[in-house]
């Protein structure tokens, strides 16, 4: 009986976690928009804009750890960098950054 209740609660949590993306006026929106012909960085959340600035300020392609250091993250713990890596990858997937085959990131011109 207890196990059954736990399974039911877990099933409910899965349904809640699978909620649709954020909506504005009934339409789904991307929190990180695709970069268009006239990129508007103001559409990005502040933490993503900070990442873009740091990558642009670098002399060349940067590793996630270097950006993490500049942001004040504890780079000695790999788990602290994974959320940053995900954000940078998302920026690359949406056209804001370029992800190189060696895993470093560069600013798009």
Q: Residues of 39-67 as b/e, b for ≥16 C-beta within 10 angstroms?
A: eeeeebeeebeebbebbeebeebbbbbbb
Domains by residue range for the chain, with CATH: 2-107 (1.10.10.10)
Per-residue pLDDT of the chain (109 residues; tens, 9 = 90+): 776 776 677 666 655 444 445 666 666 556 777 777 667 788 888 999 999 999 999 989 999 999 999 999 988 887 889 999 999 999 999 999 999 999 999 998 7
Q: Tokens in use for 102?
A: 């060696």
- Distance (Å, whole) CA 83 – CA 94: 17
Q: Tokens in use for 100?
A: 């190189």
- Distance (Å, whole) CA 47 – CA 31: 12
């Amino acid at each position: 009986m207890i196990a059954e209740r736990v399974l039911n609660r877990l099933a409910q949590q899965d349904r809640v976690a699978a909620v649709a993306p954020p909506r504005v006026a009934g339409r789904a929106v991307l929190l990180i928009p695709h970069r268009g012909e006239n990129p508007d960085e103001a559409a990005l959340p502040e933490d993503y804009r900070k990442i873009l600035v740091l990558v642009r300020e670098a002399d060349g392609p940067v590793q996630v750890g270097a950006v993490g250091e500049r942001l004040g993250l504890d780079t000695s713990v790999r788990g602290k960098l994974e959320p940053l890596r995900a954000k940078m990858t998302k920026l690359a997937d949406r056209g804001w950054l370029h992800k190189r085959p060696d895993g470093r990131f560069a600013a798009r011109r």
